[in-house]
Amino acid sequence: MSSLKRSDGRKVPPAAVPTKRGKCMSRRSGQNPSVRKGKRADGSKYYFFQYQIDVPGQEKRQRMTEVLGVVGKMTKSEAEMRKLEFITNLKLNSSECRIPSSKTFADAVRYYRDEFAPANLRDSTLSVANIYLKVHLEPYWKDVPITHIDIEAISKWAWKKRRTGLSWTTVKNMLRTMHRVLSCRPKTVPPFSLKDFHIPAKDLLRMEREGRDAVKFSWTQANQIADAIQKLDGVDEERKSRYATAIILASATGLRCSELYALRMNDVDFRAGTVRVDESFDGLTYQIEQCKNSKAYRTIVLGDAEGREALRVLKAYIGERVQNPSEFLFRSKRGTPLLSSNVLTRLCILLWKLSGFRKQACTRFAEAAM
């Protein structure tokens, strides 16, 4: 805008145009609403005040009303004190006040799948997480703003899932996936903590009892199953020896199936009596990958009687193949690692023929044996 000229020829600067106040927090001096009186339909009066809150994804703020008390039962000074206490607890005028994010849970899932998971997670881990997300998490939380996801909302959702028949273990695994989705973006503070999620004491006690009563095999039972497999008719000797040795070694070492099938010849030291675990087989991608976590990298010492017997059985099974150090201990005809699903299916059939039990029970026995 150009300057104006007075009658005497002197220039006058243009008047400042008032700018519209935006929603920037730096321009806010803080909220200090006045306490007012209101009147209900029955004629009673009350103290109240109004304040503004931010709404995710909207420029305009929302006006809220808070009733402080009935006139006559408190003075206006008491109402003022209660108003200040309310605003302080709400942190409206504090540096800790955070403008709600307009991002929803679906936005966090998109970043998790596209950016975080491919660079940081194993394919098998992402596969399980995708099942939790597609079946349980996204249908409920998809359009919910991230700032609305707190421990109270999480607890209500968990109880709904529990009533559908899911175990607390499954529910907590889904919450771990949800927590990782919401916290994987850099410089992001997760809206809830799993430490604040509590399972009822009676359910914890039942879970502990069920854990004790779970199907497990002792060393003696593992040997009985291996002997029975060796005596089966209609199964070739190579397969019988492979399954029997795998059961004996799994019972002596306590290895996961993914670790057991990734063992190579050079991972076993018969002189020192040790088994080294430094790889894992992913049955979904059919690839040899890193172990599940840092604690999974270990060397197992088989120094007791059961361990020495397992090494003897393993050495008899290997025979002359020990000359190839990179070959898998338990391999298919094509030289690839065994698949857990195939082994468990065949063990289930063998146990079913051997014991005459129901197929479902035999499947659980086979899983416990491996």
Domain layout of the chain by residue ranges: 33-90, 105-201, 219-369
For residue 141, pLDDT over 90 is answered with yes
The HSE-up count of residue 214 (CA atoms within 13 Å, CB side) is 12
Burial class, 148, CB count within 10 angstroms (exposed 0-12 / middle 13-18 / buried 19+): middle
Please report the pLDDT score of residue 131 as a whole number. Answer: 92
State the pLDDT at residue 367.
46
pLDDT grade for 181, boundaries at 50, 70 and 90: very high
Q: How many CB atoms lie under 10 A from the CB of residue 158?
A: 19
Taking only Cα atoms into account, the Rg of the chain, rounded to an integer number of angstroms, comes to 34
Predicted confidence at residue 29, as pLDDT, reads 56
Question: In which band, very low, low, confident or very high, does the pLDDT at 37 lie, cut at 50, 70 and 90?
Answer: very high
Is 7 exposed, middle or buried, given 0-12, 13-18 or 19+ CB atoms closer than 10 A?
exposed
Average pLDDT over residues 63-91: 88
| 219-244: pLDDT as tens digits | 888 888 888 888 877 778 888 888 88
**DSSP β-ladder status, 62-70 and 4-5:** unpaired
* Lowest-confidence pick of 88-102, 162-176, 187-201, 212-226: 88-102
Say if residue 97's pLDDT is above 80.
no
Residues 6+ apart with CB under 8 A from 167: 207
- Looking at residue 274, its pLDDT comes to 94
Given this model, what pLDDT does residue 354 score?
53
**What is the C-alpha to C-alpha distance for residues 344 and 363, in angstroms, rounded to an integer?**
7
Q: What is the pLDDT confidence band of residue 194, given thresholds at 50, 70 and 90?
A: confident
Taking residues 333-351, what's their average pLDDT?
Answer: 67
CATH H-level superfamily of 219-369: Intergrase catalytic core (1.10.443.10)
Element holding 280 (H helix, E strand): strand 280-282
| pLDDT value of position 104 | 87
For residue 308, the model assigns a pLDDT of 93
Tell me, what amino acid is at 84?
A: L
Q: Please state, in angstroms and rounded to a whole number, the distance separating the CA atoms of residues 370 and 356.
A: 20
Residue 263 has a CB neighbour count (10 Å cut-off) of: 24
pLDDT, residue 98, reads 59
Residues above pLDDT 90, as percent of the chain: 26
Largest CA distance in the chain: 122
Q: What is the pLDDT of residue 319?
A: 80
The pLDDT value recorded for residue 365 is 42
Indicate the average pLDDT of the chain.
Answer: 80
What is the pTM (predicted TM-score) of this model? 0.56
Confidence at residue 55, expressed as pLDDT on a 0 to 100 scale: 67
Which one is predicted more confidently, 99 or 336?
A: 336
pLDDT of residue 21: 52
Question: Cα–Cα distance between 234 and 37 in angstroms, integer?
Answer: 92
Q: Is the pLDDT of residue 123 over 90?
A: no
pLDDT at 256: 84
pLDDT on residue 13: 63
| Residue labelled with tokens 């990782």 | 180
- Whole-number percent of the chain with pLDDT over 70: 76
